[in-house]
Structure 1
Amino acid sequence: MTSPADVPATEVRFHHSAGFPRALAEAGCSLLVSTYQAGQLVAVGVAEDRLSFSFRRFDRAMGVAVGADRVAVGGKSQVWFLREYPEVAAGIPPAGRFDRCWLPRSSAVTGAISCHELAWGDDGLWVVNTAFSCLAQLDERHSFVPRWRPPFVSALAAQDRCHLNGLAMRDGRPAFVSLFAPSDEPGGWRANRNDTGTVLDIDTGETVTTGLAMPHSPRWHDDQLFVLNSGFGRLERVDLATGSRDVVATFPGYARGLAFHRGLAFVGLSRIRETNVFGGAPIAAYHDQLKCGVGVVDLATGTTVATLQFENGVEEIFDVQVVPGARCPTLGEDDDVWVLPPP
């Protein structure tokens, strides 16, 4: 984590549809959103019918995992652990505003593993180790302990061979992963990434669906598999029997970060950078129209019912996680961020 003295102050401006605070309130949840480029974890809730934001800086904040009383955040070379403090939430002024509070307490040093998504399972925390093309867990003596890698990856090496990036849990166990291309060459996914994206079944190692553009955030929800076809800005549902997909919703942004709650899908959207990674994405053709924020979709209809958009200060969303039962959470004070509505 970077201290406020180490970085310049950041001004964040935003706007949202009228239905966004209402969607959170009616669903009975709040959100934790990570911003890779801005290096922030953001708690988004509702107080007095208005959106509330709490920022906490973590260098290259990426995957977020929400547990019963703890949160894990993947960063540049560490996984950070935050614990919940109900007594602190109650004491932060104004009295009664915050109902949940998480504060950083410890971290595990992993080194530069390009930690992408995280997930709590029945046997602890799972880490998508993109640099080493594997799923891993943490312990006290090692940077990480490899637990699984795709069958086509022949060796454990920090070569980002297939850009393994997303993890879907089912019944407390890792079930599916997403990757950019089934490559065994160092950086091999970079050769062609607009139609080689794949979701694998972890138990069998077999392909569930392929032909995606830079997929992220596979999720198992309501006995169905969903994935973000990020390069097209789409949320898609996968037919496990055939591998075919149907489009649930399309968004004006690079889709990355997905969570579900009470019939709603919360999808992170990014304005993409013109780099060798994102520049060739199909959605890059519309780069001047892309938004950064969160879209809320009614799964029954595929309709986007609410939106949150960051105007400046935040360009990329990495992960979105729901906190059920939380109305207005806080991450404590972070004096280097000012959140302002648009002028």
Structure 2
Amino acid sequence: MSTPPAAPPVSILASRQLAAWLAEVDVSLALTTYQAGKLFLIGRQESGRIGIFERTFGRCMGLWASADELWMSSLFQLWRFTDALAPGQRHDGYDRLFVPQVAYTTGDLDIHDVAVDGDGRPVFVNTLFSCLATISERASFAPVWRPPWISRLAAEDRCHLNGLALADGRPAYVTAVARTDVADGWRERRRDGGVVVDVATGEAVVDGLSMPHSPRLHAGELWVLEAGSGHLGVVDRERGTFERRVFCPGYARGLTFVDRFALVGVSALREERTFADLELGEALAERGAEA
């Protein structure tokens, strides 16, 4: 019998100010790491020190959180975690105990993002089939919406649909790496083919982006990560432009807001063609920096 490959080592480093910041904004964090296959929960212990909890889920990516529930995608399942504690109850000093209660087996759909709509229904970005979808009792998924340029549903990752923003409890905006309708067609348009699309109209509110990801509505503005250039910015929906606000020294995927702070997930560039010939690599070299 062959020995399964060892899991990649995981080390955790935190800035000295993290515990103080968590206390200041009174928040805990949940995040996934695609390469290491980990779900991390980061909060504060009763002593005031940082508390970290992790569990392994292969290819975990999309993550949505509320005060008492988590939804997370993994290699072939969509998981729902529920807080098992009663109001005011604590477990080992913590005020939340998220337990995996339901796992929907979807098969490998390459789910990149997930959210829960106003009806309590999970809606996820089905990247492999180039559509928005929800769970189904009889099939791997039930399609909800697909971009107007996608002629049919096929397991071909035609445009690399990857991000979803809700407005008033409904899907509002999505990101895609290119408006292509052939298998893996987006790979040749990674540098300037990206779009942010209005779900209601099917029209692009901005184009010409490099690998856009993680659209989020916050304080009346539409924020997007332009992963190919390493920027967090804002879409002007009237003018159809993208204003770069902050450079992030790495490949940016995953965005949320806490009060006046933007929290961005940033990873190192991998040695594969998906990350080759991007503006991000050039920007890092100019700054003498590494992701």
| TM-score under structure 2 length normalisation | 0.92
Q: Which moved more, 1:50-59 or 1:126-135?
A: 50-59
User: Secondary structure at the residue paired with 2:166?
Assistant: strand
Alignment map for 1:201-220 (pairs within 5 Å): 201-220=198-217
Q: Which of 113, 117, 121 lines up with 2:117 in the alignment?
A: 121
Q: Which of 238, 241, 261 lines up with 1:264 in the alignment?
A: 261
Deviation at 1:80, TM superposition (A): 1.2
Q: Distance in 2 between matches of 1:16 and 1:67?
A: 24
CA distance 1:17–1:187, change in 2 (3 Å): same
Q: Distance in 2 between matches of 1:154 and 1:222?
A: 35
Counterpart in 2 of 1:112? 108
Counterpart in 2 of 1:102? 98
Give deviations 1:179-207, integer Å, cap 9, x for gaps.
00000111110112111111000000001
Q: Distance in 2 between matches of 1:138 and 1:154?
A: 22
Counterpart in 1 of 2:19? 21
Q: Distance in 1 between matches of 2:49 and 2:231?
A: 28
Q: Distance in 1 between matches of 2:105 and 2:63?
A: 16
- Tell me which amino acid in the other structure corresponds to 2:60: A
CA distance 1:211–1:11, change in 2 (3 Å): same
Q: Distance in 2 between matches of 1:178 and 1:43?
A: 26
Deviation at 1:49, TM superposition (A): 3.1
User: Secondary structure at the residue paired with 2:75?
Assistant: coil
What is the root-mean-square deviation of aligned Cα atoms in Å? 2.0
Q: Distance in 2 between matches of 1:23 and 1:147?
A: 39
Q: Distance in 1 between matches of 2:189 and 2:238?
A: 26
Q: Distance in 1 between matches of 2:251 and 2:160?
A: 17
The answer to whether the 8 A contact 1:270-1:290 is kept is no
> Structure 1 stretches (4+) deviating beyond 4 angstroms?
6-11, 87-92
Counterpart in 2 of 1:232? 229
Counterpart in 2 of 1:30? 28
The answer to whether the 8 A contact 1:81-1:107 is kept is yes
The answer to whether the 8 A contact 2:90-2:96 is kept is no
The answer to whether the 8 A contact 1:89-1:101 is kept is no
Alignment map for 1:62-211 (pairs within 5 Å): 62-86=61-85, 92-93=91-92, 96=93, 98-123=94-119, 124-211=121-208
Q: Distance in 2 between matches of 1:105 and 1:253?
A: 34
User: Secondary structure at the residue paired with 2:20?
Assistant: helix
Give deviations 1:127-186, integer Å, cap 9, x for gaps.
100000000010221110001000010001111110000001111000000000000111
- Tell me which amino acid in the other structure corresponds to 1:119: A
The answer to whether the 8 A contact 2:91-2:97 is kept is no
The answer to whether the 8 A contact 2:254-2:264 is kept is yes
Q: What is the total number of aligned residue pairs between the two structures?
A: 283
Deviation at 1:290, TM superposition (A): 3.2
Q: Distance in 1 between matches of 2:146 and 2:59?
A: 24
Deviation at 1:11, TM superposition (A): 4.5
Counterpart in 2 of 1:40? 38
Deviation at 1:272, TM superposition (A): 1.5
Identity %: 41
Task: Compare relative contact order (CA 8 Å, sep 6+) and give the higher one, 1 or 2.
Answer: 1
* Structure with the largest fraction of strand: 1
Structure 1 unaligned segments of length 5 or more: list them: 1-5, 292-343
Q: Is 1:57 aligned to residue 56 of structure 2? A: yes
